[in-house]
Structure 1
Amino acid sequence: MYIETQLLDPEAPLNVTFSFRTARPVGTLWQHRVDNLLLRIELLDGHLSLRSLRGQGSSMLVQELPEHLSDSKWHTVEASLGGDVSLIKLLCTEGSCTRDFSTDIPLLEQASTLPDPGTVRQGLFIGVVGRNWGLSKVEDEAENPPAFLGCFRDVFVGSHLVLPVVAPGDSDAQANLTVGCSDTDKCDESPCQNRGRCVSQGWRSYTCDCQRPYEGHNCAEEYITARFGSKDLESYALFSLDDTPGDSLTISMFIRTRQTSGLLFILSNTTSQYVRLWLEGGRVIVQVNNFETLTGRGLVSDGHFHLVTIKLEKMEAVLLYSAQIQGSMSIRPIHAHAGDLVFIGGLPDSRASGSFGGYFKGCVQDLRINSKRLQFYPISTPVEFYSLKQLINVGQGCSSDNACANNPCLNGGVCYSMWDDFICNCPPNTAGRRCEEVKWCELSPCPATAICQPRSQGFECVSNVTFREGSSVLHYRSNGRIKQGLSSVSLRFRTRQNTATLLHAQKNLEYLTISVLDSNVVMELQTRRSTKITVHSQGPINDGEWHSVELSMENQVFPPSRWIMVVDRDVEELSVSKTAAGNLDFLREGADIFLGGLSLDAGASMSGCLGMVEIGWLPLPFFLDTELNLPRPQVEQFVRVNTDTAPHYGCWGSIVCTPNPCTNEGVCEDLFDLHHCKCPSEWTGLLCQYPSDTCNSSPCIYGNCTNLEGGFKCVCEPGYSGELCDVEVDMCENTNCGEGSTCIKGLQSYACLCPHNMTGLYCDEKIREIPWYIETSPLPQLPTSACTGTRWNYNCYNGGNCSDIDDTCYCLPGFVGVWCERDVDECASDPCMNGGFCVNYVNSFECVCEMNFSGIYCQIDASDFYLYLFLGLWQNLFQLVSYFVLRIDDEPEIEWAFHENE
């Protein structure tokens, strides 16, 4: 706001009084001029200060109040401006001020317009620094505080009220003034556009943190996009660095393209191009110092804008797409200097641009190096930027080329232009990006007996054909336009023959034969400069079912190679030739190919059906073009030569059920060249000629059934008897167990439990009695376990335990048998030497030696040692005494001698 005052006495001070309120720490409140003296009241860091400027001198601080006044409270200040001394004084602060003044205070009229430069000798600016007062360049160039943002009230100049008043409607002496004192947050009104973030500065002040590519106070201005390669012109831009950016560089830009290759950015000096960015395969590639290279993982050639950023910080380079890291690498430090050049989109030399995929075709927007912009077309918002030197064929905006100008759509397709691209609306019977693929099968080209199968650039009518021994074979040759390599064969067939020729192809000495030999599929191949190879299938295939066979080279790129056979797509049972052979390119021209036999003269040797047969993915067609509704359009074809003989279309087996071979009302089932009779329940046999199996119901419970005329016979298992083998035989009824032994019945067997003085399988062997003079420990009385079986209960003897296996026991060491009924005789092997007597114990034995021997087995001869003799005598004496002591209470013995009971 500008106010003119009367110039009465230049030496007299001007007295002003005002109240203000703000939260901003800086701002110009007053500016007063008398002649060449300029006085300014301003806020700096929240403190009120008075400054003066005279003539060509510099600004000087006159006074600064110690109170912090940027606290959103009302403060009243009195100032004396001009005269001998200029002063400012804080009269009061909100809460201690009173507003008591007369209502007839005279008003000071405001100026109607701003003063002309050089004509004003006295005047006031309130809330802002006065411009163009013509004092000096020093004042114009001085760094002044910003305009005051807050509220004024009760502003007096002398005794005249200045604010609040109503200014004339056409006055330009004031701006941005509103009645009242509102401190509402301006960010509540969402002033920032284009997704900009509003940052409140207090007192209706704000700044906008703009999202790229927008700039301006309210983010309303967008950086102008540069179009490169419009109408396929060679275009590029050249910038120059006006300063030295430093050792760390951040290069970023928005790019939009559908081109998968092209030069984006080059930063170079007089000796090298030390930073390069280009597109390859739709990905951004970064190269630093002509050596280190980094490739982005994602594609940017989809026609959308992508923010591409490369950060070069000391020893590392990081590539980002829209803040997503695409990769990083270690680099040698780079040094950019003032005067270095930046090329965008290409280089002046087209051959040099071709090394990086050619000139860029697309759009670039908001290009920056660090914080400085590289503007192809400047915007109105002031920003820091590097100088543009050249702009060659670079347009403004991001318009699209008319991709439909040359009508790229084929077969009646309608072209619709997209950004640097097109889309074809294809007729119903076509497909592909340019409608180049005709959907031939929708045009019904095949006869009713065949199924149409789409092929590359054409179609094929798929059917089966039937061969019988003696019928005509099918003869094929190439149409002479096959260019692709032939390295595979596939076919489908069904037969019950043990020997048959499926396919035979020959040209001079080179040939290929696929046949059935001994029920297996066999391939024989003889090519030039290789020996004959043979591949066999892993199993028989003459079961009358459909089988597929796929033959291919193991290495199709570098022949010769081994050949692989896969039957029924079972890759785990594949067969491989032992040696290598070449490919089938000899069939591309001049070769004869036969299906069903070896030649036309020999006739068909196959009896069965053939399905689709392909050589190198090219089919051998069963139908002639004259039999189709449309001719085949594909260029590369095998053509059937024998046009005078039509094959038997479809798959038909021989007649095996007419007349019905099945007797006794059996039903004949056709299994392709084989029949099967489904017999009534009372008949059986291949032709239902035999009565049904009387053993089918398994009448023998524990035996084998044998069919007899009018009945059956059961042969029982051991342990069972009866007509149906359902009666259990008592195995202990007639046994060989000796006298005094106990028969133990088992399943289909028995065992003999012997008394203490008998042994053997049938307890018929008497145990040798121990002489009276040999001391033995009594055998332990081991318990018997009663067990429950599924068919009967049984016992486990001699400490044996019941087993989870029916009718068996877990035995203690030293006992054997199904029920642990037999003690193992450890003396059976006669382990005692030199006449020693063996005493059998449970799971052990003891040798009682003669006088002259000792040791565990009586193996030591002690006859030459008196000490051993003396000890032996004492041992026998001790045994004798022990015997008398133990037998002192026994009945008299009949005799002392050792004897056996016969």
Structure 2
Amino acid sequence: MIAWLKSVLEKVVDTNHTSLVTPRLTRAHDCHRRSHHLEEESCTPSTCLNGGRCVRTDSGNRCLCPGRSWGPRCKVLARTFSGSGWAWVRPLPPCLPTTVSLRLLPRLPSGLILYSGPLSSTSTYPHWGPTPMLAVQLVEGRPQVVLEGGRGSMKLQVDTLLRPGTWHTLHLHLDAQGVVLMVDTCGRGWERGINNERHCIARAAWAKTEDTDSWSSGVPLQLGGLAHHHPRPSDFGWTTGPHPEPLNGCISHLTINGELIDLGEPAYSSNSQKGCVPQDGACGQGTSYCGLRGECVGGLEEPKCECAAGWMGPKCASPTTPVALRQSSFTKVTLFRLPDPYHVTLQLRLKLRGRHDGLLMQLATKPDSVSLKLRLRGGVACAVLTTEETEQEVCLESFPLGDGQWHTLHVGRHGHNLGIGVDECDGWKQNDTLPSLSSTTDHGEMHGFMVAPPAPLLVDKKDGVFLGGIPEFVSLSLVAVHDDLTDSCLDDVRVSGETVPLPPVLNHTSWGRVTTLKGLEAGCSARDACFNTTCLPPLTCHNTWRQATCSCGPGRHLVGHECQDVDECLFKPCLHGGTCYNLQPNYQCTCGPDHTGDYCQWLRLPSDTHPLKAPMAIAALTLSILLVVVIGVVLTLRHHRSRAARSSPLCPGDLDKGSHALEAPVTIEAVTDLSRTQAGERRRVFHLPVLQ
């Protein structure tokens, strides 16, 4: 830490009542840092966030995260503000360029979203010049940014209304030329025939470009409101101040220069809580309504459950079934309805080993004048947007995918902008190209590079969607499959949140139907890589999906010349008070009554609490008791009549009637539901007498 320090100065914090003098520690800022906390040699108290537990594995450190946290460090991505709260996170970097983005769910039309400026309401040194200040706020439904400081005063407002109860995305970009504020990644509104960007972007140049002073004050970034009284603009040399009303709503996915900020454990906070409580409750009975592996999305007006990648069904409790891509494989899907032509997302799970090339998915018009592709190039995932005039490509160069593990790819096309991410899309796992934020300056005026509206992606319903390769037909005969991806597995393919059918397991969904396919197999099996592989003792060969590894195996490690058990319980892997048992190898957690999961990470879902459940149960129990009593009475009466009949003499002909009943047997087949069993199962046959 000493190597990072540049100076130790005294810092005075003026709160208008008392002054606190503390050492001021300053370090060099890395404006575009990428966190690699899990690559540290040992686990530290700050390695895992929000109650996560750091454990050491053969492949390095790993955080075991509690439910409702994400990524390798267990970040919580949303926070709720009820109109009187605030939260502090780390300061904004003072260098340029800087990009801040977030998702916003407002419940009222006005409120302060974020603020970076003085931590007091008055200034003791007003003659020092304008104090740096930045505020992003919502005023009567319109997003604004206010900037004060040595580069001059600035107020930007995007001419669009953000509806309460609806999620919106905000981007704030600052560079040496000026400031740009963008709404919803400029991917909405084009369908109304708009021919300029003013409905989604506002931009302005700095008033004093020669001023090299920092635009940032270096104090904590405050979210949702202020921890102090509202600052008086005249005391700080400002022309205007931040909006006085705190935010009522949720902030999610706060990103500073590509890094997601944890909102579960802010440095300081008041009257705010982690997660987005209004959204969680919009789908039904809180966070439990969508199950352990689902979350409520869609805002407050159109809420719906969205399953985590690899899960489906009611309460997201059923795993999806992957398919394997063999040589010359492809799938063509016919659509029942089209995605938004300017705002479309792709998502799929991928598993492969090595540096593969080939197509994963394509959406295209007919003819292919506009297309969106997700493909692999040397094991690197790339998104390509092709129009008649240009071709955009963005790749995840820093994250090759051929490690034999499942990864989730995300692609988003929003107007002129294109992005791609993998897994939690944090830091170097996300790459965006945002030409809408690029600007040129002419005589003090800023103008965007993208002048013409974006080209619409009007996907052809019949021949516009392909997975795994592009087939070539001649006279209805398949002659070749171009750009096909082989020896890989796909799973859980979605377009704009809708499930795409993935044959041969799933050939039809509410979104589309498979019409043609070749070379796909259900499952994701692989040959035994340990075949003809010999390891030196005491190591043994272990097959890790198409790769042979000589090791002691899971839960064991090499000590000298002997494989010994690793006592995982020393890392305390069981969360929420669970008890760990070392199984030699591996371990098992025994959870308390309120939690479940492999390491007690999930809060146990409550049982059905329907208001009629208890009365219905009592009524059913009462009826059951009455039914038992009635059956008992009937059986008793029949028993007495039977005894009376046996004691009476037989009438003439009774014996003949009885023997005749045994002469005509009838065959009854117990039909087995062949959809639930193997075909060809023999049916059981019973011979019963016919009673006449």
Q: TM-score, normalised by structure 1?
A: 0.19
Using CA pairs under 8 Å that are at least 6 residues apart, name the structure with larger relative contact order, 1 or 2: 2
Q: TM-score normalized by structure 2?
A: 0.24
Q: Which has the larger share of helix?
A: 2
